[in-house]
A and B are shown apart, each in its own frame.
Chain A
């Protein structure tokens, strides 16, 4: 399989320089402060986890990164480019793909078609040519289909290729959503609770896929996850949010022993 495989990585992956830097991000909805003055960075090829109790602002953070929300303050530096905020389209175009907390697939469409939508931004031929399935559009379609088949092969979902997504169990739908994101050949993959609601076996599978994506394609991964075991196992660095503030940042071990983090999770006597 030859997706965007970086040549530098031969034996295992090598964590590179900072690819995404978030500086002093603050976001509020009216009087509600979702994020307050948060800074952290993401390095190339790493798995970066964002954790925190419910309502801590984790999903808001992801939404800031791919431009769904525009922060009132702060700066985003992506690949050396300074921006006040991201723009959804630009983010997708520049290689940021994501999955959602509540699955956002087209339920009536097949797995293959859903994954194909991930290639949308890579399609160049115009609507008319595509409708006629003629000339360059046809060649292009075949090429995109091949890429999608590589993703299907990678995620081992050949047996449901032609099944409408709505008929699939939850765990498989999550996998299809990951497939759609992968089809975009992202440089940064944002995963919003990829393992929520899964059983142990499905979680193990998903962990394996995330690690494989990271290792084989060198994709940088930012993930939100509630399962501490998973987070501590697979991530390189973890940032901890609580009530929209950053309370910890570092390797899993550092975070585990951080008193603020322990207090936030276990509660503290006042």
Chain B
């Protein structure tokens, strides 16, 4: 290794921003995905159709383009009222992408819970809200987790796109170090290693979540 010429702490600070952005986006994405799945399963066609169409369109556009539209479009649409910085734009854009994909994952997961489970809970005297939060959601969560694990990995990698807007996350820090030192290779390699480490750590984390989510079910 050629050494990081004193830029190591900078890269680590960037890695922390990458994680913050990923967590912000996944929070927005899970909320969007759950609401989107509920809308896709709604009985009312005027709720179901427009939201399904919008979420499907989002999946057909490059994530990078969505990011640019959010970043530059918000200030055009809202004027001076509110213009998102790169972090907020990244969280909104990546959250929307995560939501568009996870709405499909959640939709499948909601449908995978046997209806008898909810009927039994109703017969037991649970209210509709109780059935959703105690029976339907926890079991759907278990079916959704493997799909969400894949989406999370995609999201982690997509955070690198926000470097183009100047957010000083891992890749942007590598860019800066590369420009200053004129030695780009080791810094981009270090950035690769940071992303790979995050992905590698997520695998056991999701395995743990899955074990936790399935502890009520027979093997």
Pairing of A with B? no
